[in-house]
């Protein structure tokens, strides 16, 4: 006995060692067989990154597990991934791991996790999943000629002896470019149990996922949940699959069905019928996505709702199965327990059918759709034919809806409740080809749409919108806006006009064209400008630095800026009038003009307004087509109050800063272009252009003009407070943040002043001024001297005084050429007197000079002519003349220092 137990122990030990070691012994062989077998039979590249063979976990079967499995297409879809799976596993009988290449294998089970299947059919009908290599039916060779089996024979040596299989966490995408059809099944989970090795068997399956489906740009499902529990009868001999016990759930709608699908060599046969197992009206609410229908278990319903249909026929290159789906409800109602209103008198009679098996003959008939909320009744009819080729639409809408009752009867997710009464009486008939070709004369539209007492607000709007009254008439060629009265914030609007291609805009995303007249008592531009919060950190950054990003979000709150975009879809001409337009801190009165909105640009044509006690006319454009908004404007300004305009317009302050200290009227013609900030104010450093300005000056405000104050303090003959009205005319050019002022003249009393130079938008200044000052302003001594000269020309004597002005607006620096001015006046006075005396006689020159200095002192006769004493006396007299003249000149500057450079 001990010997037997010892032998059994040894055998078991050897078996355990073998089970542990076998994967390492046979793993390479199995991996090679799998790759070779698959690649020999497909026109694609099959591969995986890692594989593992186990005998213990699936004993008595062998388990092969692969990771990152992929099938990559070859031409004509070269490089496209047809199939990818994160993980795949198959099990096969243990003894088959000893099979040689070409010997039969049977698969007992398989599982796939994290798979993605991308199916694509191009515009020529060629599919990327058609990768199986064609087999040839050649005559069998003699044994001597066939030492081994062909590839085709090898491929047939894999049989499905499965008891179960499953696919988890997977996704299937299907896009048919030729048929304009898109299908997607996400969160896909599918499993099956049954013996598929028999010719006839049953397979019990469970399926779930989220379904999306779109055809001809019409979305029918969008991530709608589906569930299918199906018991299938499988007949492998006839390739026929029969639905035995089956239940499907779409959203929350339950359907039961039966029938079969048979796969033939050239086509597929389909014969399936389905219906709702009950007629409860809750079935209707179940069709609506759960996100919108909410919990329907406690909803009170009356009446019925039924869906029934059949699909039968063949599927081939030119045919689809014929089908007939009926959706019906009679005198039904529903009421949510937490809402005050019920929806009643619901009648639905809809049919979706194809009677020929040709796709283009599919049609939809909504013969009747009516409902009632409170006292409001709404009804609709629609017929759509020739869906896939050139859809023909015929529809009618009629009724009234109190928008406030919608959220009182149905659980809409609205931030703020709707208000208003909508009245509709519309009919339309059109074909899509005419819409696409802009042949709107082939459409037939008529009826009216009215909205009263409407109120709406959202996060995308700065203020709630209140539409008092809106009336629209639909015609074949256009849509007429008969009335539109609205208010938002401070803004009130009244408009009329027409839209030429509403259908093209709705169906083809074409430009919306229109002509309108717009009137407003008050129009505030800021009512249409939203504060935009700076984008949050990128997800990756947020994950890497969660605490840092949290701190940033709580301390900064997100930077905000206002942004206004001109719609790209709008092509409209608007004749506008407004009593008051508020833009930033400006208030424009009696505004009128034409706005042309096109290509993300607003063009202003003959826009006029009263502003700052005068008038302004504007022609130009504003564009948001580029990332940075731009403007290009011509402005004509007449009789602006200088003080008001420079308080209200930063642009004028930057162009002519000195003018803000002046009192009077301003006339100007400006041409400007540049960039706009996000709040639509000009970016001064980008502005370029030119201006021709005229100022009628009546006064000076020293508190606002430090540059003029500094000049007045340095030059006694200037007193801007005396306020003589004078004309100032000049022309300016500006670019790159700098304003260049061409030489211009200003008359202060009888002093002519010439000014030229430049200043920057950064407040820097660099100017030169020349004052041609009459001699009478030089003081009492100079006036006495002029009287003694007794020369009529002396009244016209002027001396140029030059001043250089630098620094900044708020801290100017002044330098003058006082020394040169004093010397020039002295020489001029002496020269004039000499010329006068020469004309009267040379003997009187010395007496006149003596009189100029000493008031007529007698000659010195004690010194002989030519002697040293005489020369000394002469030099002394000349120095006295010079000193006396210099003393007189000092009257010009009020006993200031000779050099006033850098005094402020």
Instruction: Tell me whether the omega of the peptide bond preceding residue 697 falls within 30 degrees of 0, making it cis.
Output: no
Residue 97, exposed/middle/buried by CB under 10 A (0-12, 13-18, 19+)?
Answer: buried
Q: How far apart are CA 430 and CA 503, in angstroms?
A: 10
- Cα–Cα dist 356/314, whole Å: 11
- Domain coordinates of the chain in residue numbers? 1-130+159-179, 612-744, 775-811+825-893
Chain centroid offset of residue 597 CA: 18
Burial of 833 (0-12, 13-18, 19+ CB in 10 A): buried
Could you tell me the maximum CA-CA distance found in the chain, to the nearest angstrom? 174
Phi, psi of 624 (to 5 degrees): -115, 20
Alpha helices, DSSP H, located in 735-858: 780-789, 818-840, 845-854
Reported as a pLDDT band with limits 50, 70 and 90, residue 18 is: very low
SS3 call for 281: coil
Q: At what angle do helices 818-840 and 845-854 cross, to 10 degrees?
A: 140
Tens digit of each residue's pLDDT (9 = 90 or more) over 153-178: 344 455 556 678 899 999 999 998 88
Question: From CA 228, how far away is CA 271, in angstroms rounded?
Answer: 18
Of 734, 735, 619, 632, give the one whose Cα is nearest residue 675. Answer: 632
DSSP-derived secondary structure for 387-429: TTTS-EEEEEEEEEEEHHHHHHHS----SS--EEEEEEEEEEE
Instruction: Identify the CA nearest to 335 among candidates 261, 273, 411, 275.
Output: 411
Place 769 in a pLDDT band, splitting at 50, 70 and 90. confident
pLDDT grade for 326, boundaries at 50, 70 and 90: very high
Which residues have C-beta within 8 Å of that of residue 406, sequence separation ≥ 6?
A: 373, 412, 418
Highest mean pLDDT among 131-135, 590-594, 873-877: 590-594
Rg of the chain (C-alpha set): 48
Please tell me which residue, 756 or 880, carries the higher pLDDT value.
Answer: 756
- Say yes or no to pLDDT of 891 above 50: no
| pLDDT tens digits along 418-462 | 788 999 999 988 888 877 777 777 788 889 989 899 887 766 667
Among candidate residues 230, 234, 238, 231, the one with its CA nearest the CA of residue 263: 238
Residues 605-635 as b/e (b if ≥16 CB within 10 A, e otherwise) read eebebebbebbbbbebbbbbeeeebbbbbeb
**Taking all residues of the chain, what is their mean pLDDT, rounded to a whole number?**
75
What's the mean pLDDT in 479-505? 85
* Dihedral sign for Cα atoms in the order 658, 660, 665, 670: positive
Report residue 694 CA to chain centroid gap: 43
613-641: per-residue pLDDT in tens? 888 888 988 888 888 888 888 888 888 77
pLDDT of 877 above 70: no
Angle between helices 845-854 and 868-889 (to 10 degrees): 50
CA 859/CA 850 separation, integer angstroms: 8
pLDDT band at 534 (very low <50, low <70, confident <90, very high): very low
Mean pLDDT over 314-340 rounds to 89
State the pTM of this model: 0.58
């Amino acid at each position: 006995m001990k010997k037997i137990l010892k032998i059994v122990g040894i055998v078991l030990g050897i078996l355990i060692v073998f089970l542990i070691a076998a994967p390492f012994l046979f793993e390479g062989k199995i991996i090679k067989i799998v790759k070779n077998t698959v690649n020999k039979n497909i026109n694609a590249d099959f591969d995986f990154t890692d594989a593992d063979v186990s005998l213990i976990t699936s004993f008595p079967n062998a388990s092969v597990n692969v990771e990152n499995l992929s099938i990559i297409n070859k031409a004509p879809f070269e490089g496209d991934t047809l199939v990818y799976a994160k993980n795949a596993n198959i099990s096969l009988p243990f003894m088959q791991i000893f099979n040689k290449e070409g010997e039969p294998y049977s698969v007992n089970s398989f599982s796939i996790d994290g798979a993605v299947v991308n199916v694509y059919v191009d515009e020529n009908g060629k599919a990327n999943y058609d990768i199986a290599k064609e087999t040839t039916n050649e005559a069998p060779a003699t044994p001597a000629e066939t030492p081994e089996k062909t590839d085709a024979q090898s491929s047939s040596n894999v049989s499905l002896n499965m008891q179960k299989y499953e696919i988890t966490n997977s996704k299937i995408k299907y896009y048919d470019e030729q048929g304009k059809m898109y299908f997607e099944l996400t969160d896909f989970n599918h499993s099956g149990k049954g013996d598929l090795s028999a010719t006839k068997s049953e397979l019990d399956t469970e399926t779930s996922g989220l379904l999306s489906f779109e055809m001809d740009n019409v979305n029918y499902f969008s991530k709608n949940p589906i569930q299918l529990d199906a018991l299938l009868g499988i007949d492998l001999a006839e390739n026929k699959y029969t639905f035995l016990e089956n239940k499907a759930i779409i959203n929350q709608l339950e359907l039961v069905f039966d029938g079969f699908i048979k796969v033939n060599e050239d086509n597929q046969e389909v014969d399936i019928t389905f219906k709702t197992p009950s007629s409860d009206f809750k079935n209707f609410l179940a069709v609506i996505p759960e996100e919108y229908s909410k919990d329907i278990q406690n909803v009170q319903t009356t009446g019925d709702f039924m869906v029934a249909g059949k699909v039968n026929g063949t599927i081939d290159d030119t045919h689809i199965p014929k089908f007939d789906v009926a959706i019906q409800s009679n005198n039904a109602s529903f009421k949510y327990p937490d809402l005050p209103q019920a929806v009643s008198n619901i009648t639905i009679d809809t049919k979706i059918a194809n009677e020929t098996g040709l796709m283009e003959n599919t049609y939809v008939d909504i013969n009747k759709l009516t409902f009632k909320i409170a006292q409001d009744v709404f009804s609709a009819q629609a017929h759509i034919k020739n869906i896939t080729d050139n859809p023909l639409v015929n529809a009618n809408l009629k009724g009234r809806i109190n928008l406030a009752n919608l959220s009182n009867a149905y659980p809409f997710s609205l931030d703020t409740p709707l208000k208003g009464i909508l009245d509709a009486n519309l009919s339309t008939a059109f074909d899509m080809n005419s819409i696409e070709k802009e042949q709107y004369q082939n459409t037939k539209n008529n009826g009216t749409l009215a909205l009263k007492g409407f109120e709406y607000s959202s996060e995308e709007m700065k203020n709630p919108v209140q539409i008092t009254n809106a009336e629209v008439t639909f015609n074949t060629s256009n849509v007429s806006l008969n009335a539109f009265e609205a208010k938002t914030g401070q803004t009130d609007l009244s408009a009329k006009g027409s839209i030429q291609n509403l259908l093209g805009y709705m169906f083809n995303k074409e430009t919306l064209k229109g002509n309108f007249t717009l009137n407003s008592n008050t129009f505030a531009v800021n009512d249409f400008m939203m504060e935009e919060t700076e984008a949050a950190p990128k997800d990756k950054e947020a994950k890497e630095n969660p605490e840092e990003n949290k701190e940033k979000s709580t301390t900064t709150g997100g930077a905000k800026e206002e942004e206004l975009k001109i719609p790209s879809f709008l092509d409209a001409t608007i004749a506008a009038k407004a009593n008051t337009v508020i833009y930033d801190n400006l208030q424009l009165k009696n505004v009128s003009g034409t706005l042309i909105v096109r290509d993300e640009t607003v063009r202003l044509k003959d826009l006029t307004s009263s502003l700052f006690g005068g008038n302004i006319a504007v022609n130009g454009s504003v564009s948001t087509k580029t990332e940075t908004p731009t403007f290009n404007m011509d402005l004509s300004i007449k009789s602006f109050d200088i003080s008001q305009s420079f308080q209200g317009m930063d642009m004028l302050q930057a162009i002519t800063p000195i003018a803000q200290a002046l009192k009077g009227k301003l006339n100007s013609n400006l041409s400007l272009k540049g960039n706009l900030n996000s709040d639509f104010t000009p970016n001064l450093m980008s502005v370029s252009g030119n201006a021709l300005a005229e100022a009628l000056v009546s006064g000076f405000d020293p508190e606002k003009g430090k540059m003029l104050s500094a000049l007045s303090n340095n030059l006694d003959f200037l007193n801007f407070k005396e306020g003589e009205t004078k004309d100032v005319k000049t022309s300016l050019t500006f670019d790159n943040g700098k304003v260049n002022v061409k030489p211009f003249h200003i008359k202060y009393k009888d002093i002519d002043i010439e000014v030229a130079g430049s200043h920057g938008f950064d407040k820097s200044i660099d100017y030169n001024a020349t004052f041609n000052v009459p001699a009478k302003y030089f003081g009492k001594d100079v006036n006495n001297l002029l009287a003694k000269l007794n020369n009529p020309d002396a009244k016209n004597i002027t001396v140029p005084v030059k001043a250089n002005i630098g620094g900044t607006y708020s801290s100017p620096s002044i330098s003058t050429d006082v020394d040169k001015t004093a010397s020039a006046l002295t020489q001029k006075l002496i020269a004039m007197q000499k010329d006068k005396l020469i004309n009267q006689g040379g003997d009187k020159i010395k007496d006149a000079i003596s009189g100029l200095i000493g008031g007529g002192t007698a000659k010195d006769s004690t010194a002989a002519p030519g002697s040293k004493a005489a020369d000394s006396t002469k030099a002394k007299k000349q120095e006295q003349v010079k000193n006396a003249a210099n003393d007189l000149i000092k009257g010009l500057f009020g006993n200031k220092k000779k050099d006033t450079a850098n005094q402020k």
